[in-house]
Amino acid sequence: MIVVNQKQVRLLPEEIDYQKGAALPAVYVTAYHCLKEVLRVEKDEDILIQAVAGGVGIAALQLAKHFGLTTYGTAGTDEKVSFAMTYGLDYGINYCKKDFEKEIGRLTRNKGVKFLLDSLGGYTLRKGVRCLKPGGHAVTIGGAGVLPPIGIRPSNLRGWVRILIDLIQGGVYHPFSLIEGNISLSGAQILLLWDNMDYLGTIIDTLLVLQQKQVIHPYIDRIFALDEVAQAHQFIEERKSRGKILLATDPA
């Protein structure tokens, strides 16, 4: 038996099954919090979403389209870019083939974008911030781009050098650089807000309504058995996943 606080549970509507319900909270609450509370996005503005084919990326994309934004997104393969476009992505960029900073400049006629949702960190975050127009606002939610490669060993000097270079190039932000660019940079980690269920509960209630209205559609890539948790993490860390990955006590 599991006992939890009543505020931390919700009754799923009949048309939402347990799998879709499980795919909702972490990524969609993060995306909603970032777009509405942190960035405070507005209709007819634009946003660059890094790793747009991932769990938070797809969630943010669907919400951004619902809020009336023009969307730009990056992914590491043409297949992932095409996948995101099926969810309404306006402009997709394969960052392995093109410099996304230059592409954003070209696509926006060097005006830049108003908002940035970053989950990669390091030098990619710095390049993303350079894509902002004056008055722009960026929020970062992770550092997937500077995490050690799966299975990296201390003797793998080349791998660690790559990470170090990326971190150095990413650097730190001095307040003057933000002041001179008239831009702002925020960070968000929804798990650290988990005790604030009055706030998070309101978001979940809103998302359940949007899901009932089919405004948002969680995409579940794969479901792993609970004893396959290591394989699930490897699948994500090797950047093979799209949308959400779930663990199930009964995969059947």
Q: Which residues contact 6 (CB under 8 A, 6 or more apart)?
A: none
Spatial distance between the Cα atoms of 219 and 221, rounded to a whole number of angstroms: 6
Spatial distance between the Cα atoms of 164 and 97, rounded to a whole number of angstroms: 23
Query: What pLDDT shows up at residue 133?
Result: 97
**Pair of tokens at residue 210:** 């949007």
> Do residues 7 and 13 make contact, with C-beta atoms less than 8 angstroms apart?
no
Distances 106 to 99, 103, 109 between C-alpha atoms, Å? 11, 5, 5
10-residue mean pLDDT profile of the chain (252 residues): values are 83 88 92 98 97 96 98 97 97 97 98 96 91 97 63 58 61 78 94 91 95 93 92 85 89 59
Q: Which residues contact 91 (CB under 8 A, 6 or more apart)?
A: 70, 71, 72, 73, 107
Helices 122-130 & 157-170 angle (0-180, nearest 10): 30
Query: What pLDDT shows up at residue 208?
Result: 94
Rounded to two decimals, the pTM is 0.89
Q: Which residues make up the CATH 3.40.50.720 domain(s) of the chain? A: 6-145+153-218
Identity (one letter) of the amino acid at 33? H
Query: What pLDDT shows up at residue 166?
Result: 59
Residue 49: which H helix or E strand, with range?
strand 46-49
Query: What pLDDT shows up at residue 16?
Result: 87
Tell me the H-state helices in 54-189: 55-66, 78-85, 100-107, 122-130, 157-170, 175-181
Query: What pLDDT shows up at residue 123?
Result: 86
CATH code for the part of the protein at 6-145+153-218: 3.40.50.720
> Do residues 59 and 34 make contact, with C-beta atoms less than 8 angstroms apart?
no
